[in-house]
C-alpha cells in the first residue's frame, strides 16, 4: 500500500472514530438543553462544530475523511467536546498523523528479562509484544490455562487465544468485560502501527475467524494499558482474582512484561499451589523469541 493510500485509509478511520464518539455523547453531557426526540443518538455534527468553535463544513469533512492538515487546536477542541479519554485522544492524534508510526523490530528476550520472569514466581508473568504475542513465560503463566508450550507457535497470542481457544475463553468469568477491553486496546495499537506488521495481520486474522471480535471491532472503542482487576478460572488453580499489570520493557520495540498480582490471600495461596505442582518444569520458556545470551529453555 502506498503512502497516499495509507493516508486516505487513516482519514477514513478518523472519520469513523469521530462518528462513533459523537454518537456516544448526549446533548446533556455536552451542556446543551434537551431538544426532544432525535433520529440518531448523540450529538449532531453542527452541535460538535459549534461547541468546538469550528465550521460545520470543516467538521463534516473530518468525518467524511476529506480534511487534511488538521491543526492540534482543532483536534484538542473536538476531543474536549466529545469527552475523550487520554487513550482516545492518543488514538485521535495517531489517526490524524500527529503521532509517528511504530515499528515492529525483532523481539529480543535478554537474560535480565528471563531473570525477572523467574523472580516473579509464583505470580504468572510473561513477556509480550504490543501485538499480544507471548514471547516468553514463566512456568506459572505457562500452565495457567493449560500448557502454553503445547499450542501451535503461530497461535501463542493472548488476543487470538481468548477469542478462539475454548480453554482460554472458558477461563473468563467476565468475558463481557474482558473481551471488549482486549479489542479496544488492540484498536489503539493497530492505528499506531498504521495497520501494518504483526498487529495488522492479527486483526485481519481475527476478523476473518471470530464473529465476536468482528462485532466488537466495529464499535470503534479505544482503551489504554492501565492496571485492571481481573478474574480468571484456571483449570489447575481455580478461581483467581488478580491485578493484571502491563509494564514496559522496551517501548521502542513494543515489548512489555505482563504480570498477575494476587488481589486476595486465597488467590495467592492458589498460585503458590500451582507453582509447586509444576516446580519440576523449567522456570521459563521462550519459544518465539530471539534470546540474547540465554538458551531457549531456562
Same domain, 134 and 248: yes
Instruction: Indicate the pLDDT class of residue 291, thresholds 50, 70 and 90.
Output: very low
Do 80 and 130 sit in the same domain of this protein?
A: no
Supply the range of the domain harboring residue 12. 3-95
Closest CA to 138 of 130, 127, 146, 129: 127
Check whether residue 140 and residue 239 sit in a common domain: yes
pLDDT tens, residue by residue, 90-127: 888 888 877 665 655 556 778 888 999 999 999 999 99
Looking at residue 66, what is its pLDDT? 80
Here the CATH number for the domain that contains residue 136 is 3.30.450.180
CA distances from 176 to 9, 67, 111, 162, 228 (A): 30, 36, 37, 12, 15
Q: What is the pLDDT of residues 207-263, one digit of tens each?
A: 999 999 999 999 989 988 788 899 999 999 999 999 999 887 776 666 789 999 999
Cα 283 to Cα 274: distance, rounded to the nearest angstrom? 13
CA-only gyration radius of the chain, Å: 22
Alpha-carbon separation of residue 104 from 68, 108, 115, 221, 261 (angstroms)? 27, 11, 24, 23, 28
**pLDDT, tens digit (0-9, with 9 covering 90-100), for 15-61:** 888 998 898 898 888 888 766 677 777 899 999 999 988 889 888 98
The β-bridge partners of 112 are none
Torsion sign across C-alpha atoms 101, 184, 138, 162:
negative
Query: Count of domains in the chain?
Result: 2
Alpha helix (H) ranges present in 144-264? 158-164, 166-170, 175-192, 197-209, 211-217
> Are 243 and 271 in a shared domain?
yes
Based on the fold, state whether residues 142 and 241 are members of the same structural domain. Answer: yes
The answer to whether residues 87 and 147 belong to one domain is: no
Q: What is the pTM of this model?
A: 0.73
What CATH number is attached to the domain comprising 50? 1.10.260.40
CA distance 147 to 91: 35
CB neighbourhood size of 261 (10 A): 16
Residues 175 and 43 in one domain: no
The string of pLDDT tens digits covering residues 120-170 is: 999 999 999 888 999 899 999 999 999 999 998 889 999 999 999 999 999
Amino acid at each position: 500500500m502506498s503512502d497516499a493510500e495509507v493516508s486516505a485509509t487513516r482519514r477514513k478511520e478518523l472519520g469513523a472514530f469521530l462518528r462513533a464518539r459523537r454518537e456516544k455523547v448526549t446533548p446533556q453531557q455536552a451542556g446543551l438543553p434537551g431538544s426532544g426526540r432525535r433520529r440518531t443518538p448523540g450529538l449532531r455534527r453542527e452541535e460538535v462544530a459549534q461547541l468546538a468553535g469550528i465550521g460545520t463544513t470543516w467538521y463534516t469533512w473530518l468525518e467524511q475523511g476529506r480534511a487534511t492538515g488538521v491543526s492540534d487546536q482543532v483536534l484538542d477542541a473536538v476531543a474536549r467536546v466529545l469527552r475523550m479519554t487520554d487513550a482516545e485522544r492518543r488514538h485521535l492524534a495517531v489517526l490524524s498523523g500527529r503521532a509517528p508510526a511504530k515499528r515492529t523490530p525483532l523481539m529480543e528476550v535478554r537474560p535480565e528479562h528471563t531473570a525477572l520472569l523467574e523472580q516473579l514466581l509464583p505470580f504468572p508473568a510473561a513477556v509480550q509484544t504490543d501485538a499480544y504475542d507471548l514471547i516468553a513465560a514463566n512456568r506459572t503463566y505457562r500452565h495457567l490455562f493449560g500448557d502454553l508450550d503445547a499450542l501451535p507457535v503461530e497461535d501463542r497470542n493472548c488476543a487470538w487465544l481468548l477469542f478462539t481457544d475454548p480453554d482460554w475463553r472458558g477461563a473468563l468469568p467476565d468475558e463481557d468485560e474482558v473481551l471488549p477491553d482486549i479489542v479496544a486496546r488492540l484498536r489503539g495499537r493497530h492505528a499506531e502501527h498504521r495497520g501494518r506488521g504483526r498487529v495488522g495481520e492479527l486483526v485481519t486474522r481475527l476478523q476473518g475467524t471470530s464473529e465476536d471480535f468482528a462485532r466488537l471491532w466495529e464499535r470503534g472503542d479505544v482503551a489504554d494499558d492501565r492496571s485492571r482487576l481481573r478474574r480468571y478460572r484456571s483449570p489447575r488453580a481455580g478461581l483467581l482474582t488478580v491485578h493484571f499489570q502491563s509494564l514496559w520493557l522496551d517501548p521502542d520495540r513494543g515489548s512489555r512484561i505482563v504480570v498477575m498480582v494476587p488481589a486476595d490471600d486465597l488467590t495467592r495461596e492458589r498460585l503458590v499451589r500451582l507453582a509447586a505442582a509444576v516446580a519440576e518444569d523449567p522456570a521459563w520458556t521462550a519459544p518465539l523469541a530471539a534470546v540474547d545470551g540465554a538458551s531457549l529453555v531456562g
